[in-house]
Amino acid sequence: MRKILIVGAGQSGLQLALGLQGHGYEVTLISNRTPEEIRGGRVMSTQCMFRTALRHERELGLNFWEDRAPRIEELGLSVAGPEVPGAGRERAVDWTARLDGHAQSVDQRLKMAGWLETFEERGGRLVIHGATLSDLDYFARHYDLVLVAAGKGELVSMFARDAARSAHTAPQRALAVAYTHGVEPRTGHPGVEAVSCTLVPGVGELFVTPALTVSGRADILFWEGVPGGPLDVFEDIKDPAEHLAATLDLMRRYVPWEYERAAKSELTDAGGTLAGRYTPTVRKPVGRLPGGGLVLGVADVVVANDPLTGQGANAAARCAAGYLESIVAHGDRPFDAAWMQATFDRYWESARHSTRWTNAMLAPPPHVLDLLGAAGRLPAVAHRIAAGFDDPADFADFFYEPEQAAAYLASVAGPAGVPAGGPAA
């Protein structure tokens, strides 16, 4: 039986560990926290899993919360217009599109704690320890393969930045999250759950996502602010109540239609807020330990995008699924550097689309804003953009170049500018 060590108990590390267990591998998992500490700690993310990622979990029998989490059937996108003195702001663009398959968001405190317990129940070895380079140097001699799925801390330093694939050298957004109860349903969409995204040009973005958290159904309020701009105020706020107050005050100022829904909301719990920032980076996938051993980076250790397009947890699920397939197919052969590089290269074939799309949306050129606006008039365009959250590869065919976008809009609108049809919201 081949022995595999995974460092990191997030979406990718746990999904991969549980998948390998199902194929008979002897798996050791290193986590820096116990399930109890995770469940009772601070929120970790704003995950929204779309159809493909949910399918990967379902195939492994890990969809424990699927019957309890809100079924997100639609995606809504708005662009805030300029502020009008005495009248505030209104939406310059506003549309909603059906998703091809439902999405869901489960608080990672629930998911990771539950998956860790399942890993142990199925016979996995769980080590609670903050792993260091010297630890891995020792462990690498005792395992057939070591994978690093912990995207922060000194372990990431083993993986060199890939300058050719990394567009940024500094954080592109200041991030602020609040998990809340009491957000009212969207007007005009009774009984249909949706992710709502509002772009405020030059300022940042707001996402409102229905979710399941430790205390039941919730809505995640997530601000992404341009660094140094009016939304970049959360890093020094330590009190959760003050964090929520700042979130709502900014909503009242920049997205009053969303503020109306959330004005009476309350935090789900004392750990329901999070703030921070990081630099989107692509790294080389093979790390070399001081003693010469090799380790393979997983998910956001090697491809870390800004969460603007909601790709983080989805990319992690795709990465874990691809790595699992590659490990099982490799049989008893050595997990050498060539195999590690090839395994990552197969993942990059999908991850590169998420990276390109996210970078485009961080500073959308005029033709992209035109596409978003046209989606309000052309249901087929809205549907295609919404579907791209699950399959970003499709954007390569119509999204990035002005000529492509114009040709696509003309084909949808028809020669007389009349919509040629498509899935309606």
Task: Please compute the mean of the pLDDT values over residues 167-189 and round it to a whole number.
Answer: 94
Would you say residue 116 has pLDDT above 60?
A: yes
Neighbours of 71 (CB within 10 A): 14
Would you say residue 30 has pLDDT above 90?
A: yes
Domain residue spans in the chain? 3-63+106-168+280-360, 72-103+173-276, 364-413
Percent share of the chain, pLDDT over 90:
90
Report residue 282: phi and psi, to 5°.
-105, 135
Would you say residue 70 has pLDDT above 90?
A: yes
The region of weakest confidence among 88-97, 294-303, 338-347 is: 88-97
Would you say residue 123 has pLDDT above 90?
A: yes
Task: Please compute the mean of the pLDDT values over residues 55-63 and round it to a whole number.
Answer: 97
Fold (topology level) of 3-63+106-168+280-360: FAD/NAD(P)-binding domain (3.50.50)
Residue 284's Cβ-side half-sphere holds a number of Cα atoms within 13 Å equal to: 14
The neighbouring-strand residues paired with 208 are 196, 221
Whole-model pTM: value is 0.95
How far, in Å, CA of 23 to CA of 133, rounded? 28
pLDDT score recorded for residue 84: 85
The region of weakest confidence among 19-23, 168-172, 414-418 is: 414-418
CA 288 to chain CA centroid, Å, is 28
Name the residue among 75, 152, 153 with its Cα closest to residue 310. Answer: 75
Task: Please compute the mean of the pLDDT values over residues 173-192 and round it to a whole number.
Answer: 91
Task: Please compute the mean of the pLDDT values over residues 37-61 and round it to a whole number.
Answer: 97
Would you say residue 179 has pLDDT above 80?
A: yes
pLDDT score recorded for residue 421: 47
Residue 1 pLDDT class (50, 70, 90 cuts): confident
CATH 3.20.20.140 correct for 72-103+173-276: no
Would you say residue 297 has pLDDT above 70?
A: yes
pLDDT score recorded for residue 415: 57
Q: How many residues does the chain have?
A: 425
Round the average pLDDT of the chain to a whole number and report it. Answer: 94
Residues 6+ apart with CB under 8 A from 415: none
pLDDT score recorded for residue 423: 46
Would you say residue 247 has pLDDT above 90?
A: yes
Percent share of the chain, pLDDT over 70:
97
